Every structure is written in C-alpha cells, then in structure tokens.
Amino acid sequence: MGTRNLRRRETPLHSEVEALRWAIESMLHHSTCQRFGTDCKDLIAMAADPQAWPNFSTELEIIQLLKLCFPDFK
C-alpha cells in the first residue's frame, strides 16, 4: 500500500496510533485485508482496553469505530 508522511506528533506512541488509524482506513478503501500487526505493546494494550488510556481518547474513539468494520479484529 505504501507509506504516508504523517505530521509530527507529541510522542512516538501518538504516531503509532495515527499510523494504525491510517492503515485501517486504507484497508477499508483499498483491500479486503483483515489483519494488522504491530510490535508496540502499548498500542496493543490500547486496542484491548481504550478506557485505560484517557490521553488518547479521541484517537482511540476513531479506531474503535473503524474496528467495527472488521468483525474478527484482534
């Protein structure tokens, strides 16, 4: 799919969240891919329990809505 030049974020973790959001949106528009991977433990924890990460609530709310399009999101 390629890469995207994302704007500089507050922390590297914010950049990881933004990249995941972009990847999910891209797959919705361009592919039937149903798998996403990351080596970021914090990002995995965020996807599993977004309420535990209030500083990322806006970004995680968008990701939670996008996850609904993938019934087997893990």
Q: Report how far residue 34's alpha carbon sits from residue 10's, in angstroms, rounded to the nearest whole number.
A: 29
Q: Hey, what are 21's tokens? A: 């959001």
Residue 67 located in a structural domain: yes
Residue 60 lies in a domain: yes
Cα–Cα dist 26/46, whole Å: 20
pLDDT for the residue 34: 64
- Quote the number of domains for the chain: 1
Give pLDDT tens digits for 18-74.
888 888 888 888 776 667 778 889 998 988 898 999 989 988 999 889 888 877 776
Asked, for residue 52, whether it belongs to a domain, the answer is yes
Q: 7 falls in which pLDDT band (50, 70, 90)?
A: low
Which residues form the domain of 40?
Answer: 35-73
Is 57 a member of any domain? yes
